[in-house]
Amino acid sequence: MRTVRQLLAEKPAEVFAVTPDAPVIEAVRLMAEKSIGAVLVMRGDELAGILSERDYARKIVLQGRSSADTPVSAIMTGDVVTVRPDTPVPACMQLVTERRIRHLPVVEQGRVTGVISIGDLVKAVIADQQVELEQLQRYIAG
């Protein structure tokens, strides 16, 4: 069973973040430029929150706010669900399903070391199932 550490090893190490006082438009531009669905909100090395496309749609677009005049801190999700590098992939799948979230920051010894998305998790589960299927087929053909 794979862990978050193994998933992070397969991804670029870069983590994209903005500060809490940055205008929302800056975060949205970063998400568009990097083709990502969320950015971390960092106060120095401290994880202050996460801002997702869903936050933007619900708290800026639907409420008629200005993304240029609204700070990220006003719409970010502050109670961030995080995982550790040794967390198994199935436990992460359970978290994203139960909490209805798409991104999990990875925190080790108080420091953010990466972010995994529901897409990363689904890809890992499919790959693991494919390996298991091939092993079973070899066993049966044995």
Contact 3, 83 (CB under 8 A): no
What is the Cα–Cα distance from 80 to 104, expressed in whole angstroms? 8
Per-residue pLDDT at 62 = 86
**Nearby residues of 12 by Cβ (< 8 Å), 6 or more positions away:** none
- How many residues does this entry show for the chain? 142
CATH, domain 4-141, list 3.40.190.10, 3.30.750.24, 3.10.580.10, 3.40.50.2300: 3.10.580.10
Per-residue pLDDT at 33 = 97
pLDDT in tens, the chain (142 residues): 899 999 999 998 899 999 999 999 999 999 999 999 999 999 999 999 999 999 999 999 889 899 999 999 999 999 999 999 999 999 999 999 999 999 999 999 999 999 999 999 999 989 888 888 888 888 888 7
Per-residue pLDDT at 13 = 84
Considering the entire predicted model, what is its pTM?
0.89
In this structure, what token pair is assigned to residue 25? Answer: 């438009």
